[in-house]
Amino acid sequence: MTRQEVGANEFDHQFRTDFSPTSFDEEDGLFHDFLPFSDISGWVPEGGIYEDVLRNTTLVRLGDIHALSFLSYVGPPPEHQYFLDFPHDRLDHSWVVAMTGQRILERNGFSKTRVDKAVMAFLLHDVGTPALGDATMQVDPENLAEEEYWSEAAFKEGGREILEKYGTDELEIDSIIKNRGVLGQVLDIADRITYTMKDLYSIISYGQTGRNEYTRDLYEVLDKFPDIGNVYKDVRIEGDRVYFTNPERLKAFLLLRAHLHQKLYLNPISQGRDFLVRRLIEDAYSASGDPVKPLNPQNLREMGDEELQRILFEWHKPQGDQAPYFLDSRGFFMGIVNWHPEYRQFESEEEAIAFQEKISEDPNNIVLGVKKRSGFDPGTSYLVRDPQTGDILPLHDYDPEGSVRIEEIAESLPGIFVYYKDVSKTDERRGQAVNTLLSYAFAKS
């Protein structure tokens, strides 16, 4: 038995290997969490690196930040959907990234000292996320980028002595968070595995869409690889080289991830909701901390989603005797998450601007603006080991034909969009309230 296998077996005993996340036993610990569609499910013990990070940083704030904010999985036409927000948050995500990354390192024989340092970085990789996540970061990428301000956010109330306790410093943790070196590569892999599995689990398990024509692509992969989350077991580390030993499972995982980018993260409806929230935040935001504006980079890294929703609700509340658009900030959130924009896609920015100017002539059209949609890294450059020859090479070189479907999805997504809303049209009640809010918010700006 190899040193890596011994390490893997010893570490596996710390976790329950039950695919059902709700199957709790009499064990106890700091928290219980799971990576869907894998054998990672169990209690993390008290008194170690996880508890030290929790007690000495502001990590717990991430429990108040939704993982997917205003996104919804695209199924039927949006006017025929009613969407309930996804339940998982960024704290849950951070726990499982750390659990998954720790499992990878332990299975590859890393020392406890290096694993603890890595786990600290894994836990803190999202700690600089502002309230409402990606939509907020788009307001001011320079001052709200999560990776650039993780230290300021994590140690706002002190706690830097934890770095010395584990024999590390901010530079080393920063390097891992920015995906540098072997530990940074493991963070990148664990992060991608975690958000893909957690988001997939939410889509099919919480009554959002279920098994139907709109989720067929997801189930085609999941039916063949029901333990797709165990792709973490295929990660091997030799020196400064990180690769996967099961190219077929990696390819299936990357295809699932591509489908989620296409139908969830980068779908025009989801992008349009994020754009709306960004525009609402912009009106209340000052990068320099103008006291007239309630939002700035520092307090956005200190508050959670509900607090920011309350601030936006109050900031955009109509003046005088006009009735509020929503009863409260929760209604504000649910209104936006069930609102759908109108949009047109263009090949060039010039075409988009011309269209924007044309539709702006109609007073019924509230124009959010022009938004460029980027693609995503398809992941087919990950190294794999050829099962026949033992050679290590990129997945797209090992299997060009199998990689092309993933790469075609990634290449199809970049585009330029104009988002707008004809507020003369009648939407369902909450959507109509958002339209009224738009009319007021854009009239005053």
Question: Residue 12 — pLDDT band, cuts 50, 70, 90?
Answer: very low
Sequence-ordered list of residues with C-beta below 8 angstroms from that of 157, at least 6 positions apart, any chain:
58
Return the sign of the alpha-carbon dihedral for residues 308, 310, 315, 317.
positive
Determine the pLDDT at residue 432: 76
Mean pLDDT calculated for residue range 310-335: 81
Q: What is the pLDDT of residues 254-266, one digit of tens each?
A: 999 999 999 889 9
> Residue 111: left (phi > 0), alpha (psi -120 to 50), or beta?
beta
In the structure encoding, which two tokens stand for residue 379, read together? Answer: 């992941």
Looking at 10-19, 178-187, 268-277, 367-376, which range is the least confident one?
10-19
Helix (H), strand (E) at residue 12: helix 3-12
Q: Would you state the pLDDT for residue 444?
A: 62
Q: Find the range with the poorest average confidence among 26-30, 208-212, 214-218.
A: 208-212
Domain 3-233 fold? Hypothetical protein af1432 (1.10.3210)
Q: Are strands 241-244 and 383-385 parallel, antiparallel or unpaired?
A: parallel
Give yes or no for residue 424 having a pLDDT over 50. yes
Give the whole-number percent of the chain exceeding pLDDT 90: 71
Q: Does residue 3 carry a pLDDT above 50?
A: no
From 232, 118, 113, 247, select the one nearest 180 (Cα to Cα): 118
**pLDDT, tens digit, 9 for 90 and up, residues 39-60:** 999 999 899 999 999 999 999 9
Predicted pLDDT of residue 430: 59
* Residue 233 clears pLDDT 90, i.e. is over it: yes
Mean pLDDT of the chain: 89
Question: CB–CB of 126/66 below 8 Å?
Answer: no
Asked whether the predicted pLDDT for residue 325 surpasses 80, the reply is no
Helices 329-337 and 305-315 sit at what angle, rounded to 10 degrees?
100
Instruction: Give the pLDDT score at 17.
Output: 32
Q: Residue 74, Cβ neighbours under 10 Å: how many? A: 17
pLDDT digits (tens, 9 = 90+) for 380-421: 999 999 999 999 999 999 999 999 999 999 999 999 999 999
Contacts of 383 (CB under 8 A, 6+ apart): 241, 242, 243, 244, 392, 393, 394, 395
The pair of structure tokens assigned to 127 is: 């700690």
Residue 20 — very low, low, confident or very high, per pLDDT cuts 50/70/90?
A: very low
Instruction: Give the angle 2-225-24 at the CA atoms, nearest 5°.
Output: 75
Bigger pLDDT: 83 vs 169: 169
73 phi, psi to nearest 5 deg? -70, 135
Question: pLDDT at residue 445 above 60?
Answer: no
What CA–CA distance (Å, rounded) separates 338 from 351?
29
Give the pLDDT confidence score for residue 49 in this predicted structure. Answer: 98
Q: Considering the chain, what percentage of its residues have pLDDT values greater than 70? A: 87
pTM score of the predicted model: 0.91
Average pLDDT score over residue span 249-253: 99
In the chain, domain spans = 3-233
- Kindly tell me if the per-residue pLDDT of 271 is higher than 80: yes
| Number of Cβ within a 10 Å radius of residue 224 | 11
pLDDT over 80 at 75, yes or no? no
pLDDT at 337 (0 to 100):
78
